[in-house]
Amino acid sequence: MQVRLEGRAGIVTGASRGIGAAIARAMLDAGAEGVVLTGRREETVGAVAEELGPRAIAVTGNVRDASHAEEAVATAVERFGSCALLVNNAGTNPSAGTLMDVDLAAVDATWDVNQRAPLVWARAAWHGWMAEHGGSVVSIGSVGGLAPGPLIGAYNVSKAALHHLTRQLALELAPGVRVNAIAAAVVRTRLSEALWTADPEGAARAHPLGRLGEPEDVARAAVFLLSDAADWISGVVLPVDGGLSGAGGALG
């Protein structure tokens, strides 16, 4: 099976570290013509682009900003000839707590980044390239969007919304554009540190496969869903979770 991306270029949001940087690297390794990396801080996302080489370009901005999304799409088309691939990876979880007590401004920020921004980027990619030429979109969701759990309810709700947005866009953008998502479990990144740093071994044991996820685990799945190897797959939320959701693990 050929999992390749030759002849296509695209965007990875939130690509300054962790899962986003790993996906961008995997896309280039799979032969993508180029990848636009986005992030809030020029020094961090620029450093990743420099490391990845001339087929990677950093575009700095706020993921919630429609003009930033349009700039990134235009950059991909201008520099690499297409914007056929979009990975909605940027996410946030600024505050933990029950929905009855958590700061509502933090809830607004979480939902804005995690569920509204992926729509902003899908629209920019659609109007800037995909409506005429086709393409593939992958969004990074969470097993937290599959079942309720304590303390990160606002995050979980936002990821459940992202999963449903994936299915809705798969319907609306067919047949030319495929739209899928990945429901990741605990991956060893800075965003998830609160979930594993206090007891890494215990966090690993909670997953039936006995280890935490690594960014590369998610990256390989993302490249598969972007590629022609998955060309009859759309509207799917694929668990990449060490067996957590399907082999007897505890989601809550």
Task: Report pLDDT for 50.
Answer: 98
Residue 223 resides in a domain: yes
Cβ 86 vs Cβ 10: under 8 Å: yes
Q: Does the residue 1 lie in any domain?
A: no
Does a structural domain hold residue 197?
Answer: no
Catalytically annotated residue among 80, 111, 155, 196: 155
Residue 101 DSSP code: T
pTM over 0.75, yes/no: yes
Residue 102 domain-assigned (yes or no): yes
155 is catalytic: yes
Ranges of H-type helices in the chain? 18-29, 42-52, 66-80, 104-111, 117-125, 131-133, 153-173, 193-196, 200-205, 215-226
Could you tell me if residue 198 is inside a domain?
no
- pLDDT score at 188: 83
Instruction: Kindly state whether residue 84 falls inside one of the protein's structural domains.
Output: yes
Give the structural domain span for 226.
9-187+214-239
In a domain, residue 229? The reply is: yes
Number of domains in the chain: 1
- CATH number of residue 117's parent domain: 3.40.50.720
Which structure tokens are listed for 242? 């060490």
In a domain, 78, yes or no: yes
Q: What is the mean pLDDT of residues 77-91?
A: 98
Given a cut of 90, whether residue 151 has pLDDT beyond it is no
The pLDDT-based confidence of 156 (bands split at 50, 70, 90) is very high
pLDDT (0 to 100) of residue 124: 98
Average pLDDT of the chain, as a whole number: 94
